[in-house]
Amino acid sequence: MPDPSAPILIFDSGVGGLSVYDALRQIMPDAPVIYAADLAGLPYGTKTEPQVAARVAGLLGRMSERFAPRLVCIACNTASTIALGMVREVLEVPIVGTVPAIKPAAALTKTGVIGLVGTGATIRQAYVDELEAEFARGKTLYRIAAPGLVALAEDKLRGCRLDPGAVQEARTGLAAMQRGGQIDTLVLACTHFSLLREELASAFGPDVALVDGADGIARRIAHLLEGQELDALGPARFVVTGPVEAAAGLAPCLEARGFSPAEPF
Protein backbone atom coordinates (compact mmCIF):
# COMPACT_ATOMS: atom_id res chain seq x y z
CA MET A 1 0.00 0.00 0.00
CA PRO A 2 1.25 3.54 -0.74
CA ASP A 3 2.31 5.93 2.00
CA PRO A 4 -0.90 7.62 3.29
CA SER A 5 0.46 11.01 2.24
CA ALA A 6 1.39 9.89 -1.30
CA PRO A 7 -0.45 12.32 -3.57
CA ILE A 8 -2.73 12.05 -6.53
CA LEU A 9 -0.91 13.94 -9.31
CA ILE A 10 -3.25 15.87 -11.62
CA PHE A 11 -1.43 17.10 -14.72
CA ASP A 12 -2.57 19.57 -17.38
CA SER A 13 -1.10 22.12 -19.74
CA GLY A 14 -2.73 24.87 -17.68
CA VAL A 15 -5.76 25.41 -15.45
CA GLY A 16 -8.19 23.22 -17.41
CA GLY A 17 -7.62 20.25 -15.12
CA LEU A 18 -9.06 22.24 -12.25
CA SER A 19 -12.45 21.12 -13.59
CA VAL A 20 -11.34 17.55 -12.81
CA TYR A 21 -9.91 18.65 -9.45
CA ASP A 22 -13.24 20.26 -8.55
CA ALA A 23 -15.13 17.05 -9.39
CA LEU A 24 -12.63 14.94 -7.43
CA ARG A 25 -13.00 17.13 -4.36
CA GLN A 26 -16.73 16.43 -4.34
CA ILE A 27 -16.10 12.73 -3.68
CA MET A 28 -12.57 12.72 -2.17
CA PRO A 29 -12.40 15.96 -0.16
CA ASP A 30 -9.44 14.92 1.98
CA ALA A 31 -7.20 13.21 -0.59
CA PRO A 32 -3.62 14.51 -0.91
CA VAL A 33 -3.32 16.23 -4.31
CA ILE A 34 -0.56 17.88 -6.31
CA TYR A 35 -1.76 19.78 -9.35
CA ALA A 36 0.88 20.32 -12.02
CA ALA A 37 0.31 22.99 -14.67
CA ASP A 38 2.72 22.99 -17.60
CA LEU A 39 2.41 26.74 -18.14
CA ALA A 40 5.77 26.79 -19.94
CA GLY A 41 4.34 24.40 -22.55
CA LEU A 42 0.86 25.94 -22.89
CA PRO A 43 -0.94 25.54 -25.27
CA TYR A 44 -0.67 21.91 -26.36
CA GLY A 45 -3.35 22.09 -29.05
CA THR A 46 -1.08 23.91 -31.51
CA LYS A 47 1.85 21.50 -31.08
CA THR A 48 2.64 18.43 -33.16
CA GLU A 49 1.95 14.95 -31.85
CA PRO A 50 5.68 14.15 -31.34
CA GLN A 51 6.16 17.41 -29.43
CA VAL A 52 3.25 16.70 -27.08
CA ALA A 53 4.20 13.05 -26.55
CA ALA A 54 7.83 13.83 -25.73
CA ARG A 55 6.97 16.73 -23.42
CA VAL A 56 4.23 14.96 -21.48
CA ALA A 57 6.15 11.70 -21.03
CA GLY A 58 9.30 13.53 -20.01
CA LEU A 59 7.60 15.82 -17.51
CA LEU A 60 5.52 13.07 -15.93
CA GLY A 61 8.60 10.89 -15.59
CA ARG A 62 10.43 13.62 -13.69
CA MET A 63 7.40 14.58 -11.65
CA SER A 64 6.81 10.97 -10.64
CA GLU A 65 10.40 10.71 -9.43
CA ARG A 66 10.06 13.88 -7.36
CA PHE A 67 6.54 13.50 -5.97
CA ALA A 68 6.10 9.69 -5.83
CA PRO A 69 2.37 9.83 -6.63
CA ARG A 70 0.00 6.95 -5.97
CA LEU A 71 -1.88 7.76 -9.19
CA VAL A 72 -1.43 10.13 -12.12
CA CYS A 73 -4.37 11.79 -13.84
CA ILE A 74 -3.63 13.38 -17.22
CA ALA A 75 -6.41 15.97 -17.04
CA CYS A 76 -5.90 17.11 -20.62
CA ASN A 77 -7.67 15.69 -23.67
CA THR A 78 -4.87 16.62 -26.07
CA ALA A 79 -2.16 15.02 -23.92
CA SER A 80 -4.29 11.93 -23.25
CA THR A 81 -5.30 11.25 -26.85
CA ILE A 82 -1.66 11.55 -27.93
CA ALA A 83 0.52 10.35 -25.04
CA LEU A 84 -1.58 8.16 -22.74
CA GLY A 85 -0.23 4.86 -24.06
CA MET A 86 3.37 6.05 -23.90
CA VAL A 87 3.01 7.31 -20.32
CA ARG A 88 1.45 4.03 -19.21
CA GLU A 89 4.48 2.18 -20.58
CA VAL A 90 6.88 4.44 -18.67
CA LEU A 91 5.25 4.83 -15.25
CA GLU A 92 4.45 2.07 -12.79
CA VAL A 93 1.46 3.71 -11.10
CA PRO A 94 -2.16 3.81 -12.30
CA ILE A 95 -2.71 6.40 -15.04
CA VAL A 96 -6.14 7.91 -15.63
CA GLY A 97 -6.57 9.76 -18.89
CA THR A 98 -9.12 12.23 -20.17
CA VAL A 99 -10.87 11.48 -23.44
CA PRO A 100 -13.78 13.22 -25.18
CA ALA A 101 -17.12 12.28 -23.58
CA ILE A 102 -18.62 10.93 -26.81
CA LYS A 103 -20.17 7.87 -25.14
CA PRO A 104 -22.39 9.79 -22.68
CA ALA A 105 -23.20 12.38 -25.35
CA ALA A 106 -24.40 9.67 -27.72
CA ALA A 107 -26.62 8.24 -24.98
CA LEU A 108 -28.05 11.69 -24.24
CA THR A 109 -28.81 13.09 -27.69
CA LYS A 110 -32.40 13.05 -28.92
CA THR A 111 -31.78 14.45 -32.41
CA GLY A 112 -28.78 12.24 -33.09
CA VAL A 113 -26.64 15.28 -33.91
CA ILE A 114 -23.71 15.97 -31.58
CA GLY A 115 -21.22 18.82 -31.59
CA LEU A 116 -17.68 18.48 -30.28
CA VAL A 117 -15.37 21.38 -29.44
CA GLY A 118 -11.70 20.66 -28.78
CA THR A 119 -8.22 21.77 -29.63
CA GLY A 120 -6.91 21.30 -33.16
CA ALA A 121 -4.68 18.47 -31.98
CA THR A 122 -7.48 16.62 -30.20
CA ILE A 123 -10.10 16.67 -32.91
CA ARG A 124 -7.80 15.15 -35.54
CA GLN A 125 -6.73 12.15 -33.45
CA ALA A 126 -7.53 8.61 -34.56
CA TYR A 127 -8.49 7.94 -30.93
CA VAL A 128 -11.46 10.27 -31.40
CA ASP A 129 -12.35 8.46 -34.64
CA GLU A 130 -12.39 5.21 -32.68
CA LEU A 131 -14.61 6.64 -29.94
CA GLU A 132 -17.03 7.92 -32.57
CA ALA A 133 -17.11 4.56 -34.36
CA GLU A 134 -17.66 2.62 -31.12
CA PHE A 135 -20.14 4.81 -29.28
CA ALA A 136 -21.78 7.16 -31.81
CA ARG A 137 -22.58 4.76 -34.62
CA GLY A 138 -25.71 5.94 -36.37
CA LYS A 139 -25.27 9.44 -34.95
CA THR A 140 -23.81 12.54 -36.59
CA LEU A 141 -20.78 14.04 -34.85
CA TYR A 142 -19.49 17.44 -35.91
CA ARG A 143 -16.06 18.47 -34.63
CA ILE A 144 -14.66 21.96 -34.50
CA ALA A 145 -11.35 23.31 -33.22
CA ALA A 146 -11.79 26.16 -30.74
CA PRO A 147 -8.26 27.01 -29.58
CA GLY A 148 -9.34 30.46 -28.44
CA LEU A 149 -11.36 28.91 -25.63
CA VAL A 150 -8.18 27.71 -23.92
CA ALA A 151 -6.91 31.26 -23.52
CA LEU A 152 -10.40 32.39 -22.50
CA ALA A 153 -10.51 29.85 -19.67
CA GLU A 154 -7.02 30.83 -18.52
CA ASP A 155 -8.14 34.48 -18.50
CA LYS A 156 -11.35 33.68 -16.62
CA LEU A 157 -9.55 32.06 -13.72
CA ARG A 158 -7.18 35.01 -13.58
CA GLY A 159 -10.08 37.40 -13.20
CA CYS A 160 -9.53 39.07 -16.58
CA ARG A 161 -12.28 40.69 -18.60
CA LEU A 162 -13.52 38.14 -21.14
CA ASP A 163 -14.05 38.58 -24.85
CA PRO A 164 -16.87 36.16 -25.84
CA GLY A 165 -15.77 36.16 -29.48
CA ALA A 166 -14.15 32.70 -29.30
CA VAL A 167 -17.35 31.18 -27.86
CA GLN A 168 -19.51 32.77 -30.55
CA GLU A 169 -17.08 31.63 -33.24
CA ALA A 170 -17.39 28.00 -32.11
CA ARG A 171 -21.19 28.23 -32.04
CA THR A 172 -21.34 29.85 -35.48
CA GLY A 173 -18.95 27.28 -36.96
CA LEU A 174 -20.98 24.32 -35.74
CA ALA A 175 -24.30 25.90 -36.71
CA ALA A 176 -23.02 26.35 -40.27
CA MET A 177 -22.47 22.60 -40.73
CA GLN A 178 -25.04 20.61 -42.70
CA ARG A 179 -27.23 19.60 -39.74
CA GLY A 180 -25.65 21.98 -37.28
CA GLY A 181 -28.97 23.50 -36.36
CA GLN A 182 -30.06 20.12 -34.93
CA ILE A 183 -27.18 19.82 -32.45
CA ASP A 184 -28.67 19.14 -29.03
CA THR A 185 -25.57 17.85 -27.25
CA LEU A 186 -22.13 19.44 -27.11
CA VAL A 187 -19.02 17.53 -26.04
CA LEU A 188 -16.48 19.72 -24.26
CA ALA A 189 -13.39 17.87 -25.44
CA CYS A 190 -10.90 19.99 -23.51
CA THR A 191 -10.86 20.31 -19.73
CA HIS A 192 -10.33 24.06 -20.11
CA PHE A 193 -13.72 24.34 -21.80
CA SER A 194 -15.54 22.96 -18.75
CA LEU A 195 -14.50 26.11 -16.91
CA LEU A 196 -16.54 28.09 -19.48
CA ARG A 197 -19.85 26.32 -18.96
CA GLU A 198 -21.73 29.55 -18.25
CA GLU A 199 -20.38 31.24 -21.37
CA LEU A 200 -20.99 28.20 -23.58
CA ALA A 201 -24.49 27.62 -22.20
CA SER A 202 -25.35 31.24 -22.91
CA ALA A 203 -24.08 31.01 -26.50
CA PHE A 204 -25.58 27.62 -27.41
CA GLY A 205 -28.85 28.06 -25.54
CA PRO A 206 -30.91 25.93 -23.15
CA ASP A 207 -31.72 23.24 -25.73
CA VAL A 208 -28.08 22.11 -26.03
CA ALA A 209 -26.73 19.89 -23.24
CA LEU A 210 -23.05 20.35 -22.37
CA VAL A 211 -21.19 17.12 -21.67
CA ASP A 212 -17.69 16.64 -20.24
CA GLY A 213 -15.84 13.82 -18.55
CA ALA A 214 -14.90 15.43 -15.22
CA ASP A 215 -17.33 13.51 -12.99
CA GLY A 216 -16.52 10.21 -14.68
CA ILE A 217 -12.79 10.79 -14.27
CA ALA A 218 -13.25 11.59 -10.58
CA ARG A 219 -15.26 8.42 -10.07
CA ARG A 220 -12.59 6.38 -11.86
CA ILE A 221 -9.86 7.80 -9.61
CA ALA A 222 -11.93 7.06 -6.50
CA HIS A 223 -12.56 3.49 -7.70
CA LEU A 224 -8.87 2.81 -8.33
CA LEU A 225 -7.94 4.13 -4.89
CA GLU A 226 -10.74 2.43 -3.00
CA GLY A 227 -9.55 1.05 0.33
CA GLN A 228 -6.32 3.05 0.38
CA GLU A 229 -5.46 5.21 3.38
CA LEU A 230 -5.34 8.90 2.46
CA ASP A 231 -3.76 11.58 4.63
CA ALA A 232 -3.19 14.99 3.05
CA LEU A 233 -0.98 16.39 5.85
CA GLY A 234 -1.74 19.91 4.62
CA PRO A 235 -3.28 21.83 1.71
CA ALA A 236 -3.13 20.73 -1.91
CA ARG A 237 -0.06 21.89 -3.83
CA PHE A 238 -0.04 23.72 -7.18
CA VAL A 239 3.20 23.47 -9.13
CA VAL A 240 4.01 25.11 -12.45
CA THR A 241 6.68 24.73 -15.09
CA GLY A 242 8.50 27.89 -16.11
CA PRO A 243 8.46 31.11 -14.06
CA VAL A 244 6.13 30.82 -11.08
CA GLU A 245 5.10 34.42 -11.72
CA ALA A 246 2.98 33.09 -14.59
CA ALA A 247 0.56 31.78 -11.95
CA ALA A 248 0.35 35.07 -10.05
CA GLY A 249 -3.10 35.96 -11.38
CA LEU A 250 -4.44 32.58 -10.29
CA ALA A 251 -3.93 33.21 -6.57
CA PRO A 252 -7.59 33.95 -5.70
CA CYS A 253 -9.00 30.91 -7.52
CA LEU A 254 -6.30 28.65 -6.07
CA GLU A 255 -6.90 29.91 -2.55
CA ALA A 256 -10.64 29.36 -2.97
CA ARG A 257 -9.91 25.74 -3.89
CA GLY A 258 -7.69 25.15 -0.87
CA PHE A 259 -4.28 25.24 -2.58
CA SER A 260 -1.14 26.56 -0.99
CA PRO A 261 0.64 29.30 -3.00
CA ALA A 262 1.92 28.21 -6.44
CA GLU A 263 5.44 26.84 -6.50
CA PRO A 264 7.90 26.15 -9.35
CA PHE A 265 8.64 22.66 -10.57
Ordered DSSP codes for 166-229: HHHHHHHHHHTSTTGGG--EEEE-SGGGGGGHHHHHHHH-TTSEEE-SHHHHHHHHHHHTTT--
Give the separation between CA 7 and CA 67, rounded to whole angstroms: 7
Distance of CA 29 to the CA centre of its chain: 19
Q: Quickly list H helices, 37-140.
A: 49-67, 77-90, 102-108, 120-123, 126-135
User: H/E element holding 117?
Assistant: strand 113-118
Cα 105-200-25 angle, rounded to 5 deg: 70
- Active-site residue set: 76, 190
